[in-house]
Chains A and B, each alone.
Chain A
Amino acid sequence: MEARRKLSFKRAIRENGVPIMFFILCGLGVLASGKPLSFLLQEAIGRMARNSFIVLSLVVPIVAGLGLNFAIVLGAMAGQAGLIAVAAAKIKGLPGLFTAVVVAFPLALLLGWAAGSIMNRAKGREMIAGMILGFFMNGVYMLVFLFGAGTVLPIKDPRMILPQGYGLRNTVDLQVVKWSLDNLLKVRVGPISLPLATFAVTALLSMGILKLFSTKLGQDMRAAGQDIRIAEVAGIKVDRTRMVAMLLSTVLGAIGQILFLQNIGTLNVYDSHGQTGTFAIAALLVGGATVTKATVGQALLGTFMFHLLFIVSPYAGQNLLGSAMVGEYFRAFVAYAVIAFSLALHSLQRSKMAVRR
């Protein structure tokens, strides 16, 4: 009995190794940063509000067996296209935000369909295919906005278009929709202000995802995620289920990027989406998710810890090593290393299981 409890304790540590390690890392970072806790908490809450949605959008494809959705960048691109349209048409406030979602929606469906088709053709290699697809579509995205804007797309505003008459400038000001959701319902608790409307949207999504997994479709996704062959034998249309998961994830990713950018307030046309995938995936993994298992709770916990580390690492770098740059490099390193570690761990466990079989 005693030995058994010890074993399960050991197992619990091993299975939650990443979040525990990160918790310690965050704690050390907070101490080394020398910043007051209220400041850090305010920053972390702000980042929670703007990042949780996109991290949550990664949960569905994992459950459906598509692994970490590196093609989430496609959703981000669709979201940015929506915001660019709104900035060009100067639709202010919440209607603007809503319009951005409406414009992004069909684009996200189209891109999600492309991603889903490619992943159904590259079973077992979905993640690398998704990542390369992201790079590929980045080329198409640049082509559209560097050469299409002002020529094919009717954007005339000289503040958005490059002096040569076509092509979008590097940054687009999103003043029209900035904080339109965040400021809708803001509550101050002591020194900390909470963007309740944004949190409400995130909560809605969380509940929606939980609800989804109790429906027939959600169960089909789980089955397809566990074993494609068995799911097929059970009469589940695996390819279709996977496609639905990708469409859902891409559309949610687009909305997530719109929420993210309405908080930031400026869009780096050619950069903003680049890091989206990496950071969202790293955040999810930090919460304890793996390539095959992810929950809403892990997404939220991961977002909080990952971004807390993001906030403290430049300060900690400054205090410990006299250089904020070290901290900046450190957080990029952490993001990549967490992903590399999780991927390696996943294949390690899979090959062990194969040996046991």
Chain B
Amino acid sequence: MSLRERVLKTVSELGLPRLTVILFLIGLFILGAVQGVSVADLLSNSIGRFAMNAMLTLSMVPAIQCGIGPNFGLPVGIIAGLLGLVISMEFGLTGFTGLFAAAVLGILLGAVFGVLYGHLLNRVKGQEMMVGTYVGFAVVSGMCMFWLLMPFRNPRLIWTLGGEGLRVTISLSDFFSNVLDNFLAIRAGVFKFPTGLVLCVLAVAILYRIFEYTRLGTAMDLAGQNEQFARAAGINVERMRVTGTAMSTAMGALGIVLYAQSYGFVQLYTAPLMMAFPAVAAILIGGATPRAAGISNAIVGTFLFQTLLAITVPVTQSVIGGDISEIIRLIVSNGMVLYALTRGHGGGNNGS
């Protein structure tokens, strides 16, 4: 195989957008180094963001495997996680206890919500992405009323004026911000490696990898890949789809708990509205399609996407003196999703 053939093969395997992202990333690193932006700072930033977002992207894996496609209804899970967070905080739990309570409560609520949401998706086969998106939007905006009206009493959570309704952003500094990040963290100057959080993400990833080898895991994957064949093999496809959706939603709940822990703030109200899109984009950048995904796609994709975002800020700041990262995020993430949607095959499970 000549070099030219090999290059062409790599390009077609990676796909144009993925290649663009990688080349862009390399270009930015070089530009950053030339401009004298601290590489340690960049790396630390990109690892931090990777760890923060990885679980949200991982939650896409069971959804795609069970056949509902990328879970655009991720906000449903995020709401479950946020409920876990605010309830844990309402009881004044701090440190690892608080984080653990929030995570467990979030995962349980997420699983329940996910089962309901999965049953809905079973009725709308072929339109899961669109229905999911708008169910997510509706749930987030409906919850805005909930946050405002529910009788939370902890003064650190509610508005100081009027004493009613949860705040838009709640600081976790008095509760459990960064407890997992700082656990066994490795520090060297500005560089920080959030060992605890990375270990937690890896643990879930490994557990999921083991799950893939179990009877249930293989049955779920088969149901997503070929519905007719799975049915012929005696698999209850509908049930597998509900299982996958519930897992995805529960992982989304855990994802937002870890995210908030790392970010240091809980963001309520309209903040979760658009959170599904970066997660969807990340797993697609990592090489997944709307029909097939694995843990490695999620890990690689989150790393590429978040590194890209982490690097754009300081590098473009030093070159053109403006923050272009939001624009890059919009163009890259949505461009990637569009590319996946227009590739003919794939894209949701056409129930017919």
A336 to B138, CA, bound (A): 5
A28 is an interface residue with CB less than 8 A from chain B: no
Specify which chain B residues have a CB less than 8 angstroms from the CB of A337 in the assembled complex: 138, 141-142
Q: A356 → chain B, closest Cβ, in Å?
A: 12
By the criterion CB–CB under 8 Å, are A347 and B124 in contact?
yes
Interface hub of B72, B124, B126, B335 (most chain A Cβ within 10 A): B124
Q: How far is the CB of A170 from chain B (nearest CB, A)?
A: 14
Residues on B with C-beta less than 8 A from A127 are 130
B148 touches A340 (CB 8 A): no
> Given the complex, which residues of A lie within 8 Å of B335, measured CB to CB?
136
Q: Is B338 an interface residue (CB 8 A)?
A: yes
When C-beta atoms are compared, the residue in chain B nearest to A329 turns out to be B144
- A136 & B334 in contact (Cβ 8 Å cutoff): yes
- A122–B126 Cα gap in the complex (Å)? 13
- CB of B30, distance to nearest CB on chain A (Å): 22
Q: A146-B327, A326-B145 are in contact. Are A340 and B126 (CB under 8 A)?
A: no
CB contacts (< 8 Å) of B348 on chain A: these are 125
Interface string of B106-146 (1 = CB under 8 A from A): 00000000000000100111110111011101101110110
Complex Cα spacing A160 to B112, Å? 51
Hey, which chain B residues are within 8 Å of A143, CB to CB? Answer: 324, 327, 331
| Residues 187-233 (chain B) with a chain A CB within 8 angstroms | none
A140 touches B144 (CB 8 A): no
Please determine whether B338 and A136 come into contact, CB atoms closer than 8 angstroms.
yes
Do A333 and B330 have beta carbons less than 8 Å apart? no
Question: Once the chains bind, are B145 and A329 in contact (CB under 8 Å)?
Answer: yes
Measured between beta carbons, the chain A residues less than 8 angstroms from B321 are 164
* Choice from B120, B131, B145, B322 contacting A333 with Cβ under 8 Å: B145
Kindly identify, within residues 326 to 357 of chain A, every residue whose CB is under 8 Å from any CB belonging to chain B. 326, 329-330, 332-333, 335-337, 339-340, 343-344, 346-348, 350-351, 354
Task: Find out whether the CB atom of A348 lies under 8 angstroms from the CB atom of B142.
Answer: no
State in angstroms the CA–CA spacing of A129 and B347 once bound together.
Answer: 10
Q: Is the CB of B142 within 8 A of A347?
A: no
B352 within 8 A of A: yes
Complex contact B131–A340 (CB within 8 A): yes
Of A139, A329, A344, the contact of B131 (CB 8 Å cutoff): A344
Beta-carbon contact of B141 and A347 below 8 Å: no
Q: Are A136 and B126 in contact (CB under 8 A)?
A: no
**Which residues of B lie under 8 Å from residue A95 when comparing CB positions?**
none
Whether B344 is near chain A, meaning CB under 8 Å from some CB there, is yes
**Given the complex, which residues of A lie within 8 Å of B322, measured CB to CB?**
146-147, 164, 167
**In this assembly, does B23 line the interface, its C-beta being within 8 Å of a C-beta of chain A?**
no
Which residues on B sit within 8 Å (CB–CB) of A326? 145, 148-149
CB neighbours (8 Å) of B127 from chain A are: 343-344, 346-347
| A189 CB to nearest B CB, Å | 37
User: Does A118 interact with chain B (Cβ within 8 Å)?
Assistant: yes
Q: Does B174 contact A (CB under 8 A)?
A: no
The answer to whether B129 and A125 have CB atoms under 8 Å apart is yes
Q: Which of B123, B145, B347 contacts A347 (CB 8 A)?
A: B123
| Structural contact, B131 and A347, CB atoms closer than 8 A | yes
Tell me the minimal C-beta distance from B106 to chain A in angstroms. Answer: 22
CB-based contact B342/A329 at 8 Å: no
Asked if B148 and A125 sit within 8 Å, CB to CB, the answer is no
Q: Report A-chain residues with C-beta under 8 Å of the C-beta of B125.
A: 347, 351
CA distance A351 to B227 in the complex (A): 15
CB nearest neighbor in B for A350: B126
Asked if B134 contacts A339 (CB within 8 A), the reply is: yes
Which of A123-170 touch B at CB < 8 Å? 124-125, 127-129, 131-133, 135-136, 138-140, 142-143, 146-147, 164, 167
Q: How far is the CA of A129 from the CA of B130 in the complex (A)?
A: 9
* Closest A residue by C-beta to B70: A128
Q: Assess whether B138 is in contact with A118, with CB atoms less than 8 Å apart.
A: no
- Closest chain B CB from A230 CB (angstroms): 16
Tell me whether A147 and B324 are in contact (CB under 8 A): yes
B337 contacts chain A at the CB level, 8 A cutoff: yes
Q: Which residues of A sit under 8 angstroms from B344, Cβ to Cβ?
A: 121
Does B326 have its Cβ within 8 Å of any Cβ on chain A? yes
Least CB distance, A207 to chain B, in whole angstroms: 32
Q: Which of B124, B135, B137, B338 contacts A351 (CB 8 A)?
A: B124
- Tell whether A325 is near chain B: CB-to-CB under 8 Å: yes
Asked if B341 and A135 make an inter-chain contact with CB atoms under 8 angstroms apart, the answer reads: no
Given A325-B148, A340-B137, A344-B131 in contact, is the A124-B124 Cβ separation under 8 Å?
A: no
In the complex, A323 has a CB within 8 A of chain B: yes
B50 in the interface, Cβ–Cβ < 8 Å? Answer: no
Instruction: Fill in one digit per residue for A289-330: 1 if any B CB lies within 8 Å of its CB, else 0.
Output: 000000000000000000000000000000001010110011
Looking across the interface, which residue of chain A has its beta carbon closest to that of B335? Answer: A136
Asked if B342 contacts A333 (CB within 8 A), the reply is: no
B120, B130, B137: residue with the most chain A Cβ atoms closer than 10 Å? B130
Looking at B72, B120, B129, B277, which has the most chain A CB atoms within 10 Å of its CB?
Answer: B129
Q: Least Cβ distance of A141 to chain B in Å?
A: 9
A321 to B165, CA, bound (A): 12
A321 CA to B102 CA, complexed, in Å: 30
Flag if A132 contacts B338 (CB, 8 Å).
Answer: yes
| Contact yes or no, B331 A140, CB < 8 A | yes
CB distance from B136 to the nearest CB of A (A): 9
Complex: A333 Cα to B320 Cα, angstroms: 40
Instruction: Find out whether the CB atom of A124 lies under 8 angstroms from the CB atom of B350.
Output: yes
Q: Are A122 and B142 in contact (CB under 8 A)?
A: no
Q: Does B234 contact A (CB under 8 A)?
A: no
The one of A132, A146, A325, A348 in contact with B123, judged by C-beta atoms closer than 8 angstroms, is A348
Q: List 7 A-B contacts (CB under 8 A).
A: A128-B133, A129-B338, A333-B138, A333-B144, A336-B141, A343-B127, A347-B127
Which 7 A-B residue pairings sit nearest by Cβ, starting from the closest?
Answer: A139-B330, A340-B134, A136-B334, A347-B124, A139-B331, A329-B144, A336-B137
Q: Which residues of A contact B (CB under 8 A)?
A: 118, 121-122, 124-125, 127-129, 131-133, 135-136, 138-140, 142-143, 146-147, 164, 167, 321, 323, 325-326, 329-330, 332-333, 335-337, 339-340, 343-344, 346-348, 350-351, 354
- Chain B residues with a Cβ under 8 A of chain A: 72, 120, 123-127, 129-131, 133-135, 137-138, 140-142, 144-145, 148-149, 165, 277, 320-322, 324, 326-331, 334-335, 337-338, 341-342, 344, 347-348, 350-352
Name 7 extra pairs, CB < 8 A, besides A124-B126, A143-B327, A333-B138. A118-B342, A133-B334, A133-B338, A136-B331, A333-B141, A340-B135, A344-B120
